[in-house]
Structures are given as structure tokens and as C-alpha cells.
Amino acid sequence: MRSITDLTINQSGPVSHEPGHRARVGEEIADVLLYLLRLADELGIDVMAAARAKQAAARGRFPTDGFRGVAPEKT
């Protein structure tokens, strides 16, 4: 059984539905989430406020009418 961490994003989709892999992917996602929440806590960052600010900035940079159906380029 290949490790899910050895796959590209395109390869990982179908494999993530194999028995055992989906649970393993969930564990990895949980690890990252918990690490980020701990880091935010240590740095005094309000995660929800940061997420709302990021979304507001993205709405300003990428209005839906100008980018509907098109992936915007990173600036």
C-alpha cells in the first residue's frame, strides 16, 4: 500500500477513497489543524478574525463578476 503522502494531488483523490487511506488523510489534516491552532494561540492570533480579513481582502482583489469561472493569477 502506497503512502498517501507520496502522491501528487491528482493521484491522491481516487486513492483517498481506498479503505484505510481516508482515515489516514483525516488524521494528517487533523494534525495540521491542531498545529496551526496551537501556533495561532501562541502568537495571539484570532484565527476566525484572520480568516474573515483574508476573505474580505480576496473579495476586494477578485470580484466575482470579473473572475467567475476563471482561476485568478497570484499577485
Say what the pLDDT of residue 72 is. Answer: 63
Say what the pLDDT of residue 43 is. Answer: 98
Characterize 28-61 residue by residue with b for buried, 16 or more Cβ atoms within 10 angstroms of its Cβ, and e for exposed.
eeeeeeeeeeeeeeeeeeeeeeeeeeeeeeeeee
Say what the pLDDT of residue 23 is. Answer: 84
Per-residue model confidence as pLDDT tens for the chain (75 residues):
556 566 677 777 676 677 777 888 889 899 999 999 999 999 999 999 999 999 999 888 877 776 667 676 766
Task: Say how many residues make up the chain.
Answer: 75
Domains in the chain: boundaries: 7-62
Contacts of 7 (CB under 8 A, 6+ apart): 15
Q: Which three cell numbers stand for residue 10?
A: 491528482
pTM exceeds 0.85 for this model: no
